[in-house]
């Protein structure tokens, strides 16, 4: 696609339920990043993919969070047994390659509300 696409745009879920957030990066971008933006806060880095591989998962807040990427394209961030503190905007970004100077292109995010 022309840009990074995330779905759903908004998600309301009950505490304890599992949710899946989807990110469709720009075609040809090998690097993919997930960030979490809580109310009034900056963006918190969660995980990155180089191709289908996630070399460092230490940014994930707890073992309830997991992510995968298939075919070097679509990525899914899964949150199990959601808690109210998981409420936030989850942003995905992709870039042509891994590197400190590469421009990251962001999606519009998924606003997750846990009630």
> Binding to another protein by residue 55, rule CB under 8 A?
yes
Q: What string marks each residue from 1 to 30 as x (binds another protein by CB under 8 A) or -?
A: ------------------------------
How does DSSP classify residue 84?
Answer: G
Which of 16/51 has CB closer to another protein?
Answer: 51
- Beta strand pairing call for 10-13 and 110-114: parallel
Work out whether 45 is an interface residue with another protein (CB under 8 A): yes
Q: Is 74 in the site for another protein (CB under 8 A)?
A: no
Which are the contacts of 68, defined by CB distance < 8 A and separation ≥ 6? 52, 54, 75, 76, 78
């Amino acid at each position: 696609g022309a840009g990074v696409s995330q779905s759903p745009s908004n998600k309301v879920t009950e505490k304890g339920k599992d949710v899946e957030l989807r990110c469709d990066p720009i075609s040809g971008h090998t690097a993919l990043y997930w960030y979490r933006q809580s109310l009034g806060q900056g963006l918190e880095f969660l995980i990155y993919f180089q191709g289908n591989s996630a070399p460092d998962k230490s940014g994930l807040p707890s073992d309830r969070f997991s992510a995968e990427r298939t075919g070097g394209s679509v990525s899914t961030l899964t949150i199990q047994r959601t808690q109210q503190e998981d409420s936030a905007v989850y942003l995905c970004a992709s870039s042509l390659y891994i590197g400190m100077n590469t421009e990251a292109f962001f999606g519009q995010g998924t606003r997750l509300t846990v009630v």
